[in-house]
Chains A and B, each alone.
Chain A
Amino acid sequence: MRKVIQANEVSNLVKSGDTLLVGGFGLSGSPLTLIYELLHSDVSELTVVSNNLGEDGLGLHKLFEAGKIKKMVGSFFSTNKPAVTAWQKGELEIDLIPQGTLAEAIRAGGAGIGGFYTKTAVGTELAEGKEERVINGERYIFEKAIKGDVSFVKAAKADKLGNLIYHTTARNFNPLVATAGKIVIAEVDEIVEVGQLDPEQIITPHAYVDYVIQSKFVKQGVNYVESR
């Protein structure tokens, strides 16, 4: 199967109303090329699962500005003023989940686990309506796993089979997201031949990855800029 595709083929893989899982923490490890490919497509009504809604008006924030996002599922949106305003006006649904619960829910989703009990958020507003159970004398709440229609992953390198390695803290949610989508697309800084990645270093085995694209972004100082 040919996995390496062109960026402009991405929008054909996403449908309106899909649940999109997106890696990244702020802009670190954010699949910017994949996200921006959707800006000019006619895809809309997306549910996006990601820790943040981009950062400083970039990344997923642009998708939100373009009116593509119906609902966000993540852990931290307070610093995104336009998103807060849209939520207040009822234009954006937000499902707020503690960061560790979000990570574990995506991990579970990709691992065939229906849900799990966690002690995080017990007794808080974020536990309201959730099943509670005492296990070995400790209180836990039940959290359902999260799965997606399409996953957008950012990695440092892929080989042509789709094996992935990551760079520093740009790993974050990416290896989890890579396991939990029906279609998994990885954007990478560099595509190498099969055999050029050390098997001991591979974090995401190629079985998880359906497509690979070359990133259009490079790091420049404190920014990620589109390369020419």
Chain B
Amino acid sequence: MLSQDKRHLIAKRVAEELEEGQIVNLGIGIPTLVPQYLGEKEVYLQSENGLLGIGPAPTEEELDIDLMNAGKEPVTAIKGSSFFSSADSFALIRGGHIDVAILGTLQVDVKGEIANWAVPNQPILGVGGAMDLVAGAKKVIIAATLFNNKGESKLVSNLTYKTSGIRRVELFVSDYAVFKFTDDGVRVVEIIEDITIEELSEKVGISLEYAEEKILN
């Protein structure tokens, strides 16, 4: 599969997890592809820099560079949207008023703790809103390819990259499988790529259990 196709496959699968009317925050990368797969389902997208109700990219006439998303790309605001300060925006985030945060990650451990802010062997000078979202969103879904560009599994027994916080994510939607995290650890609940659970375990390097489960919502 081409990497672009994988990204869209993941985004499409994540879109199925969202419910009508939810307040959703999207991280950069694959999460930003999710809205195109929502169909008729209406969700409200929140942006850290003070907007609830992100609309599509602006046309040339609509372009207003004051109005941007947290990735600093120009956006529009839908009907019913609102603007607020960064303090109010993070009150929404930390205070548990965001239903779902869809984030990328560098690693996720078998308990669901993630490392998604500090790139290894580089000066760590950026965190943005990553830790606030991890700490505060009601549900966190990871949308990421299962392997990084060195071929290493992002699902690991123990994080070797710096943790984003003690909160455990609920779901990891990858290009190979969907992983669910509970107090009992990680379980594969859906296999997306044509692969057996044994082959997947081998590739990841962790003995995985498969219990098919319709986990939608």
Contact = CB atoms under 8 A, between A and B. Distances in A.
B86 A170 contact: no
B67 A106 contact: no
A211 interface: no
A29 B124 CA distance: 26
B205 to A, nearest CB: 25
Contacts of A26: 68, 72
B123 interface: yes
B162 interface: yes
Interface residues of B, number: 45
A102 to B, nearest CB: 8
B135 A25 contact: no
Interface string A206-228: 00000000000001011110000
Nearest to B51: A169
Most chain-B CB neighbours within 10 Å: which of A75, A100, A175?
Answer: A100
Contacts of A175: 85, 87
B125 A96 contact: yes
Most buried by A among B86, B124, B164: B86
A11 interface: no
B49 interface: yes
Contacts of A98: 127-132
B66 interface: yes
A120 B91 CA distance: 11
Contact of A121 (B72, B118, B128, B165): B165
Nearest to A26: B72
A47 interface: no
A101 interface: yes
A99 B128 contact: yes
Contacts of B128: 75-76, 98-99
Contacts of A167: 66
Interface stretch (A2-10, A14-22, A62-70, A122-130): A122-130
A183 B131 CA distance: 32
A125 B163 CA distance: 8
A96 B126 contact: yes
A32 interface: no
Contacts of A77: 125-126
Given A75-B126, A172-B49, A104 B166 contact: no
Contacts of B63: 221-222
B48 interface: yes
Of the listed residues B66, B67, B124, B166, the one surrounded by the most CB atoms of chain A closer than 10 A to its CB is: B66
Contacts of A191: none
A168 B126 contact: no
Contacts of A41: none
Interface string B32-52: 000000000000000111110
Interface of B: 47-51, 63-68, 70, 72, 74, 77, 83-87, 89-91, 93-94, 118-119, 122-132, 135-136, 162-166
5 smallest A-B Cβ distances: which pairs? Answer: A100-B90, A78-B126, A100-B132, A170-B66, A103-B86
